Structure 1
């Protein structure tokens, strides 16, 4: 990564939402869908925002919810999970890197976004990925990835390796304490089951 301003952000929205029983980006909080909440927040601080869907059919379900400036992408390699979404986006963004977020993190805070942008400004030139860690464990879907690792991801997928944590262990990843990025840890709150919506 070159040491520069982080301009791109990507929302990974291709999951099936089996545990939730529905497409998680379409869940509603305070009268707005998760995808609207997240993308509206990102548009305030990033000049390029993209959403990766599993296919064009899923993307159509979101058409009326996305700002016209948002780039709509679909998985180039279908059915391989978040790693496939990262692979797709890294080949399509205009910047040298992007912050990735899952579509079920509507509580992402301004503080987290600005701290991640600051982290990129300081260490982006020496890291393939900048990864928050909670209790020593990485939060790979709330991380910054460089476009230069795309070929490496392609190699992992060719070997049927889909785990993002395997990617992190095989590249130069800089890890940061999640609490230093968001003391409330709200940014990392995921919604996986219907009962999780009772906050």
Structure 2
């Protein structure tokens, strides 16, 4: 297996709806992301909160798969092992379902992921023997949900969850991580744009 992506679904209270299904220029955000990565990766795992959210995505994703079946990578939709347990649990669910040694984790509300970013982080992950690779901004803040994780992180995640931790930062404190300048991964920094409020969509469309 050459490469795998885990897409984490979510609901925004500010949006009042499921972010991945929100339309940008007439197309759901999740489809924007799938269109960008479909020719790069072999496997995509879409991690959803529960069966209700899964049912919302099935029709949308299946329509995408049917449009170009010969070139679409394997796409599997799974639900969190336990509902509403935070991003670390979503990462655990995703890594538990991959066939490859690791995966690039992305949020469903980042429709401007560049192919350069995806290819670059996979290339660096092949070159470096680390458990995770996380983008970092000049001020030291990080992007743990735009990062690469190896499946060997699973036992550490299980231990963290057992001890009540639910954020990804708690995992990064315990594993072998390399932090990469965001501009090395995406010189234009567009891959890290998130749409968390309704006005974000309109602002983006005006650019």
Query: Which TM-score band applies after superposition, normalised by the shorter structure?
Result: over 0.9
Normalised by the length of structure 1, the TM-score is 0.92
1:150 and 1:73 mapped to 2: Cα distance? 17
Of 75, 80, 91, 2:80 maps to: 75
Shift of 1:129: 0.3
Within a 5 Å distance, the mapping from 1:26-45 to structure 2 comes to 26-45=21-40
Paired residues, number: 192
1:142 counterpart = 2:146: yes
RMSD: 1.3
Normalised by the length of structure 2, the TM-score is 0.89
Within a 5 Å distance, the mapping from 1:2-81 to structure 2 comes to 6-13=2-9, 15-66=10-61, 67=65, 69-81=74-86
1:107 and 1:16 mapped to 2: Cα distance? 19
Shift of 1:26: 0.8
2:200 and 2:32 mapped to 1: Cα distance? 17
1:120 counterpart = 2:125: yes
Shift of 1:16: 2.6
Of 114, 130, 133, 1:130 maps to: 133
1:19 and 1:152 mapped to 2: Cα distance? 33
Structure 1 unaligned runs (5+)?
none
Query: In structure 1, the residue corresponding to 2:39 is in which secondary structure?
Result: helix
Shift of 1:6: 4.6
For the 8 Å contact 2:110–2:195, the answer to whether it is kept is yes
For the 8 Å contact 1:53–1:74, the answer to whether it is kept is yes
Query: In structure 1, the residue corresponding to 2:16 is in which secondary structure?
Result: coil
After the TM superposition, list the runs of 4 or more consecutive aligned residues in structure 1 that deviate by more than 4 angstroms: none
